[in-house]
Amino acid sequence: MGDIITIRQKIATNIGTITGLRTSAELIDNPSPPIALVNLDSVDYHQAFQNGTTILNFTVSVIVGRSAERTMQRKLDAYLTPTGAQSVKAGIESNRSLDGNCDDLVVTSASSIGSVTINDQTYLAAEFQITVYA
């Protein structure tokens, strides 16, 4: 398997195929929406003998824009759609081996769809859960 730093970067690269959506492979203090932030939540070791399979559970937080703007809701809806050029799921799964750095990955769900407050500003956002088999 590839190292986690590379896997994180490759996920960000996949999301980067979505026009107009910035990406960051790591969490940052002052995100500038619309942006997708890649975060590693947990690691499940020993899924096969001799470190043959490790499961990495990532969350990609997509922060769209000011929640009061109607266009932001539409933009978020497009990001949440399972297919299409603006689909975050399709973007992440566009290169499921992450250029050979994992066996496979799948976007399992999207949750926490709603408002988040960052630096006293309220934004629309959603979280995508990714399971990476490496």
Partner 1 sequence: MAKYVVTGTQVTLNGSDVSSSCARAELVINSAEVDTTDFGSGGWTEVIGGLKSGTVSLDFHSDFGAAAVSALFQTLVGTIGTVTIIAANGTAASATTPEYTAEVLVNSFTPVSGAVGDLSTFSVSFPTSGAVSYATA
User: Would you tell me which residues interact with partner 1 (CB under 8 A)?
Assistant: 46-53, 103-104, 106, 108, 133
Instruction: Give min distance, CB of 43 to partner 1, in A.
Output: 14
For residues 21 and 132, which CB has a smaller minimum distance to partner 1 in the complex?
132
| Helix-strand-coil split of the chain, %, nearest 5 | 25, 40, 35
Instruction: Give min distance, CB of 2 to partner 1, in A.
Output: 15
Sign of the CA dihedral running 65, 37, 30, 116: positive
Q: Is the peptide bond before 34 cis (omega within 30 degrees of 0)?
A: yes
For residues 52 and 84, which CB has a smaller minimum distance to partner 1 in the complex?
52
For residues 19 and 50, which CB has a smaller minimum distance to partner 1 in the complex?
50
Instruction: Give min distance, CB of 40 to partner 1, in A.
Output: 19
Q: Tell me the sheet residues that pair with 122.
A: 117
Q: What are the backbone dihedrals phi and psi of residue 40, each rounded to the nearest 5 degrees, phi first?
A: -90, 120
For residues 49 and 70, which CB has a smaller minimum distance to partner 1 in the complex?
49
Instruction: Give min distance, CB of 123 to partner 1, in A.
Output: 30
Distance CA 133, CA 68 (A): 38
